[in-house]
Structure 1
């Protein structure tokens, strides 16, 4: 009863305050307010008593975990109020700061994205966030193992179902040819598109685009992340752990929207994100949120022509992005 009244009240607030928002984004505004109101009940525990009470549990998709759950947990750690964290398998290294982290979930779910116990969830009209602290993954995992003769460039690709349909944003073999042929003399290119057995799956299907065979034939100089995992010179505990170590030694990333782009934004330098569509465009996530993870310069390409322009300007000629 009370919950329904609150939802109706917040719906009215959004209708009055934000009149012309597209219908499909309306509920994100309302959910931001729900998250903010939920945090009011913790004022005394968070700012006055400050005992180690907070248990944070999350098993939603990878991107919002990196965007909101992980920085929320780190804020509580820095605040002295974090008791423990719970998440999906292969996440202990992400929560390296947690006093007690448990991997209690085998998979991820879309429903779990809507965790109103966090100050923000999914997309938000307001990214001036409280109780949010960027996690120093780069400083934690920088190492002397994954060092090559040339600077590392990570190509973090994906070829997944999107919004219950076929793949939309991905680097095709033709685009990979352009990127690799233009950058392989300047960088040690590490190609990363995780196989299902190496990551915790959510509701997206992973398809095969046969690029691994193509890479082996046309560009054998490209280093595969999965081959680094097979060698495992740094004794990584899992594939996510390896990614953290290799990414920590890089300053250049070319990624795809979602968890792929979010992870790459945690390691500074320049991150070129290919995203044709999505709520991130409307809410300005690549401009407002993604630079906050590490101070990385974020380049958002909506088309393949923009990708080529950014590669030429910021990767070949290494101009410094203004953001």
Structure 2
């Protein structure tokens, strides 16, 4: 029955979206199936409405932000959330959960595929927001600790293997120098690139960009998230908690494709994100317009090259 239904939903995806590549229609099919799967919980969600739902996820951080956390928060608002289960150091993300369990030591990227327990679970041209609610990270974590004389601007960089290839979406040192030189007089810049051991990783190996020592020497005005973590170790739960506290006070972000961009999109303001064509399927499904702005109401500006990042920064920041 399940196999027949999946095949039928693939045909429906092909009929509805004939211009989408055949291999990408499987994503649409899976989202259709995941939404149909929610019919099983209609009575529990809308009639009895007692805490029963356990939302468990240990796949990619990007998917967790986009799909799992908003699904869990919807159940919290609905009065039906019983428990959340995720990777270690995720408790700050699930501050609303009545019982959060940090079960997994490592993320497994494949865990997001074939998982039909969440209505939106992978890439799609449209999303179902009926069981999806914005998590109010900004209002919950705003604070008077990370407040400076100038408005905050976070540069959320990364430098790791992407799709089993060398780094693609990142700012190298010359690009950072150009951006920081033009912005530091107007903004208090916080530079964020988590290192090994600070967050839970999946299969994307972190590589050495060598920029932290360079920043301390060349641009000492820039605050490094790694240094802030050392300075506030006694008062923050973990690195994720620190990121949430800093991001909550910020309205200007420059971020990179993936979880880095998704997290920066959860705090309103403006997020200029770098995502080169030919990588993730966000491009194919127009997700920087149909999904990312919904994470917080942020203005999402998609740069397809470093030069576009510079142009957008000059025009917006």
TM-score by length of 1: 0.95
Is contact 1:269–1:296 with CA below 8 Å preserved after alignment?
Answer: yes
Asked if 1:18 is matched to 2:20, the reply is no
Q: Separation in 1 of the partners of 2:246 and 2:276?
A: 27
- Which region of structure 1 is more displaced relative to structure 2, 9-18 or 182-191? 9-18
CA offsets, 1:222-270, max 9 Å, x none? 1000000000077001000000001111111000011101111111111
Determine the structure 1 residue equivalent to 2:194: 194
Instruction: Name the structure 2 match of 1:251.
Output: 251
**Separation (CA, whole Å) in 2 of partners of 1:80 and 1:119:** 18
Q: For 1:21-32, what aligned pairs fall within 5 Å after superposition?
A: 21-32=20-31
1:55 pairs with 2:54: yes
- TM-score (normalizing by structure 2): 0.97
Structure 1: distance between partners of 2:207 and 2:28? 33
Contact kept in structure 1, 2:31 and 2:121, CA below 8 Å = yes
* Equivalent residue for 1:279, pick from 278, 281, 287: 281
In the alignment, structure 2 segments of 5+ residues that lack a partner are none
Tell me the matched-pair count: 314
Structure 2 residue aligned with 1:230: 230
Q: Which residue of 2 aligns with 1:292?
A: 294
Separation in 2 of the partners of 1:40 and 1:63?
A: 26
Partner-residue secondary structure (3-state), 1:39: helix
Alignment of 1:1-323 (within 5 A): 2-114=1-113, 115-232=115-232, 235-277=235-277, 278-315=280-317
- Matched residues in 2 for 1:237 and 1:245: separation? 11
CA distance in 2 between partners of 1:43 and 1:128 (Å): 15
State the distance in 2 between where 1:234 and 1:262 align.
28
Question: SS state of the match for residue 143, structure 2?
Answer: coil
Q: CA 1:178 to 1:24, structure 2 compared with 1: closer, same or farther past 3 Å? A: farther
Structure 1: how far apart are the matches of 2:203 and 2:24?
21
User: Where do 4+ consecutive residues of structure 1 move more than 4 Å?
Assistant: none
Aligned to 1:154, the other structure's residue is in SS state strand
Task: Look up the SS of the partner of 1:253 in the other structure.
Answer: strand
Cα distance between partner residues in 1 of 2:186 and 2:306? 21
SS in 2 for 1:66: helix
* 1:19 CA drift (Å): 2.1
- The alpha carbon displacement at 1:7 in A equals 1.9
Is residue 125–residue 287 contact of structure 2 (8 Å, CA) maintained in 1? Answer: no
Cα pair 2:119 2:128 within 8 Å, conserved: no
- Residue-by-residue CA offset, 1:75-104 (whole Å, 9 max, x unaligned): 000001001110000111100000100000
Report the Cα offset of residue 51 of structure 1: 1.1
Distance in 1, Cα, partners of 2:290 & 2:11:
26
| Shift, 1:39, TM fit | 0.5
Could you tell me how far apart the structure 2 residues matched to 1:107 and 1:39 are?
28
* Alpha-carbon separation, structure 1, partners of 2:31 and 2:248: 32
